[in-house]
Amino acid sequence: MQVTAVYPGSFDPITNGHLDIISRGVRLFDRIIVALLRNEDKAPLLPLSERIEIVRSVVSRYPSVTVDSFDGLLVDYARARGAQAIVRGLRALSDFEYEFQMALMNRRLEPGVETVFMMPSEGYSYVSSHLVKEVVRLGGDVTGLVPVEAIERLKARYASTGPG
Ligand code: PNS
C-alpha cells in the first residue's frame, strides 16, 4: 500500500525544523503533501504565494514531496487527497497539549486519518516561525535556522513595512 501523508501548517515561514521533519518523513511515507493553510484570519506576515514559493524551492530535492494549499477542515483536505496520515512536529512538551487536542479532534472527525508526531533534531527544538520573524524584524541573525530564501523574503517584507 502506498502511504500518503499531509504535513499541514502556516509555514510563515518554513524553518529548518520543518525541513528536518520533512527529511525524516520522506523515509517513512511514499508521498508527502506539504499543505499550507490558506486562511488569512491568522494574518500571516508573508503572502501565501511567497510562502509556497519558498517551500517549493526548498523541497525540490525530494521527488516524493509536493506542495499545495488548503482551506476548510484539514481532515476533509486529507481525505480528498487520499492521505492516510497527518504529520505534525513536536518540539517540546509545550507543543503537546495543543497538538494532542487537534489530533484527537481530527480523529473524531475522520477516524481513517492517523496523526503521526515526529521530533525534529534537538538543535531545532527552540526554533519557531514566530521567534524567527521577531529576530529578523529586530535585525538579528537567523542564519542556519531558516532557509536563505526565507531570510531574504522576511528582510524584504520588513524593509517595506518597517520593523513596527
Ligand atoms: O503551523 P500551524 O499554524 O501550527 O498549523 C495549524 C494547522 C494549519 C495545522 C491548523 O490550524 C489546521 O489544521 N487548520 C485547518 C482547520 C481545521 O481543520 N481545524 C480543526 C483542527 S482540529
- Residues designated catalytic: 18, 42, 91, 129
Set of cell numbers at residue 123? 538543535
Q: To test ligand 1's pocket by mutation, which of 22, 74, 105 has the most ligand atoms within 8 angstroms of CB? A: 74
Please give the chain's pLDDT, 164 residues, in tens: 899 999 999 999 999 999 999 999 999 999 999 999 997 787 999 999 999 999 999 999 999 999 999 999 999 999 999 999 999 999 998 899 999 999 999 999 999 999 999 999 999 999 999 999 999 999 999 999 999 999 999 999 999 886 56
Set of cell numbers at residue 88? 505534525
Distances (CA, A) of 95 to 7, 84, 85, 90, 121: 16, 23, 19, 6, 15
The residues, any chain, with a CB within 8 Å of residue 30's CB and separated by 6 or more, are 2, 3, 4, 64
What is the distance in A from the centroid of ligand 1 to the CA of 74?
7
Q: What's the sign of the alpha-carbon dihedral 143, 58, 44, 8?
A: negative
The per-residue pLDDT for 77 is: 98
- Are β-strands 31-37 and 65-70 bridged in parallel, bridged antiparallel, or unpaired? parallel
Indicate the angle between helix axes 16-25 and 48-59, nearest 10 degrees.
50
Set of cell numbers at residue 7? 504535513
Does the model's pTM come out above 0.85?
Answer: yes
